[in-house]
């Protein structure tokens, strides 16, 4: 009774710790991945998916209006939809970003995207708690397990990364939670079937990889229903999932163009046709780093195998077969998803498996708790051991590892330019998309001239009406950068007075009139 009295305080206290941790890392974040800038641009630019105007002088408002809606273009969801048709993702997350951005027109700030992710992070934490509590019936174990995910490097990286991965995590976890309850007949079937259709619909409108997980979950639960001879439930669940997919396709039919005609869709289809079963297991390395504190994988697997053996002993002794069924539904689709996405993805990056991190943690907690229950009879000792292990892991992770996507060492371009709002800058790259990497800083310049690097300078204007000129070079091995910058200085009768390495592949030059 004493423990029950303290639990609400512990639950609220845990949320406060998570929020404080999120705010700390959100505040640290200094720069953006190009895809994060695309998040803002595709959400807020008015019928302009990419900021690719070039070979002309532009003012900073061109780039600010790409990142943030104006008074006139607020709540323009038709534009968001159009931009996503032209891109390669479904539109739901972008609708949300546009909605929040529309409350602050003309403002670009990291806090818009981070606040959305922060809210989603807390919702995932709460949902993971209820999933674990449904399976274990132990609130303290469930709280410790959900906090372990929320404070892990992988979860914090997903929260810091201003993309749709937090939202798709929520839908996948919600679908799993609903099906665990559906499987155990603890939810009204009509509401469950409606929930399945709705969650499949929302997930499909968030990220296409959601369909991979949903299919695996559908297949697993249908096999379980088949084994249990619940044929009506099998049919009803399958049809509900199909209805959600068809509704998502009807809402956003560009899915077919994205799958068969876009570069991302083509890459996935080619990888599906040429599965490399021996492909380097980088995704396993990501999981080890993001969730298991870089402990040697062989030790993690050995520990899991031993605990799984004791878990099976516990299930057999207590005839707790529903636990085994729930664990299969939680673990099998998530593990298979990691394997399949590793084969399908063109880029080997953990972002594509962030969505199953809380599900993998749920599997770990269930195996850990019931494995120890099969080994140790005293339930209080088991609970204390599990909570101590999870809490120690969270503290160690926070003290030793930083989340990804903070960009702590990337100096803002405007920090290298005095009075940038009065300055002119040329942005010269070998491909136009590279200009998008700097749109957040270019919005603060008076004049911007984006173009392709050429030795002849035929793409550049005849004159520059500023006393000084900044040139941001984005070279590759095919460009003779010293020659190009010398030709620019000669063309405008200017002298290079400063050269600054912005990033490994970006150099900023300052020129003044002789």
Largest CA distance in the chain: 89
Same domain, residue pair 104 and 125: no
- Co-location of 320 and 436 in the same domain: no
Rounded CA separation 238/227 (Å): 15
pTM of the full predicted structure? 0.93
Question: Do 91 and 134 belong together in one domain?
Answer: no
Both 295 and 341 in one domain: the answer is: yes
Per-residue model confidence as pLDDT tens digits over 306-365: 888 888 888 777 777 788 888 999 999 999 999 998 888 777 889 999 999 999 999 999
Last residue in a domain, options 374, 400, 426: 400
Q: Is residue 407 part of a domain?
A: no
Indicate whether 505 belongs to any domain: yes
pLDDT digits (tens, 9 = 90+) for 492-504: 999 999 988 887 7
User: Does one domain contain both 352 and 421?
Assistant: no
Q: Residue 268: which H helix or E strand, with range?
A: helix 263-273
- Domain housing 241: 2-18+115-400
Contact (CB, 8 A) for 455 and 483: yes
Residues 344 and 433 in one domain: no
Phi, psi (5° rounding) for residue 385? -65, -45
Nearest residue to 69 (alpha-carbon basis) of 91, 88, 48 = 48
Q: How many domains does the chain have?
A: 3
Same domain, 136 and 60: no
271-295: average pLDDT = 70
Q: Which two tokens stand for residue 188?
A: 């009204």
**Residue 405 located in a structural domain:** no
**Contacts for 380 with CB less than 8 Å, ≥ 6 apart:** none
Instruction: Report pLDDT for 278.
Output: 47
What's the token pair of residue 449?
């001239």
Q: Which of 97-106, 292-301, 385-394, 417-426 is the most confident on average?
A: 97-106
Nearest-angstrom CA–CA distance, 479 and 461: 20
- Residue 8 included in any domain: yes
H/E stretch holding 247: helix 231-251
Residues 85 and 121 occupy one common structural domain? no
Single out the residue in 108, 124, 145 at which a domain terminates.
Answer: 108
């Amino acid at each position: 009774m004493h423990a029950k009295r303290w639990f609400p305080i512990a639950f609220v206290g845990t949320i406060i710790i998570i929020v404080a941790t999120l705010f700390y890392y959100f505040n640290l974040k200094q720069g953006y991945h190009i895809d994060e800038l695309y998040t803002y641009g595709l959400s807020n630019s008015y019928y302009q998916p990419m900021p690719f105007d070039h070979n002309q002088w532009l003012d900073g408002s061109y780039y600010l209006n790409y990142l943030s809606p104006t008074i006139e273009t607020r709540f323009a969801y038709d534009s968001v939809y159009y931009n996503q048709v032209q891109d390669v993702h479904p539109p739901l997350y972008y609708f949300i970003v546009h909605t929040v951005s529309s409350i602050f027109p003309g403002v670009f700030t990291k806090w818009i995207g981070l606040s959305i992710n922060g809210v989603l992070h807390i919702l995932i934490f709460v949902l993971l708690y209820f999933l674990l509590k449904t399976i274990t019936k132990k609130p303290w174990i469930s709280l410790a397990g959900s906090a372990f995910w929320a404070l892990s490097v992988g979860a914090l990286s997903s929260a810091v990364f201003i993309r749709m991965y937090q939202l798709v995590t929520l839908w996948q976890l919600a679908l799993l939670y609903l099906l665990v309850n559906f499987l155990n007949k603890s939810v009204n079937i009509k509401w469950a079937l409606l929930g399945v259709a709705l969650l499949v619909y929302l997930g499909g409108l968030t990220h296409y990889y959601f369909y991979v997980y949903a299919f695996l979950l559908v297949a697993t639960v249908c096999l379980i229903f088949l084994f249990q001879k619940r044929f009506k439930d099998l049919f009803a669940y399958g049809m509900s999932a199909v209805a959600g997919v068809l509704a998502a396709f009807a809402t956003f039919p560009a899915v077919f163009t994205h799958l068969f005609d876009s570069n991302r869709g083509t890459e996935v289809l080619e990888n599906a046709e040429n599965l490399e079963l021996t492909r380097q297991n980088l995704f396993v390395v990501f999981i080890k780093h993001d969730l298991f504190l870089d402990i040697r994988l062989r030790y993690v697997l050995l520990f899991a195998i031993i605990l799984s053996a004791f878990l099976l002993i516990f299930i057999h002794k207590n005839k707790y077969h529903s636990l085994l069924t729930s664990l299969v539904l939680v673990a099998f689709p998530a593990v298979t998803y990691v394997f399949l996405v590793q084969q399908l993805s063109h880029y080997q990056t953990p972002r594509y498996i962030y969505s199953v991190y809380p599900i993998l943690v749920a599997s770990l907690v269930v195996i850990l708790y019931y494995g120890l229950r099969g080994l140790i009879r005293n339930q209080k000792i088991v609970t204390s051991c599990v909570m101590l292990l999870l809490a120690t892991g969270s503290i160690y992770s926070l003290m030793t590892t930083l989340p990804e996507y903070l960009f702590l060492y990337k100096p803002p371009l405007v920090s290298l330019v005095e009075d940038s709002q009065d300055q002119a800058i040329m942005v010269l790259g070998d491909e136009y998309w590279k200009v998008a990497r700097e749109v957040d800083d270019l919005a603060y310049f008076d004049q911007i001239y984006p173009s392709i690097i050429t030795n002849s300078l035929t793409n550049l204007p005849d004159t520059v009406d500023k006393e000084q000129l900044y040139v941001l070079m984005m070279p590759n091995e095919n460009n003779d950068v010293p020659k190009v910058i010398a030709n620019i200085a000669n063309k405008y009768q200017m002298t290079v007075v400063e050269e600054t390495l912005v990033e490994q592949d970006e150099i900023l030059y300052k020129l003044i009139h002789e």
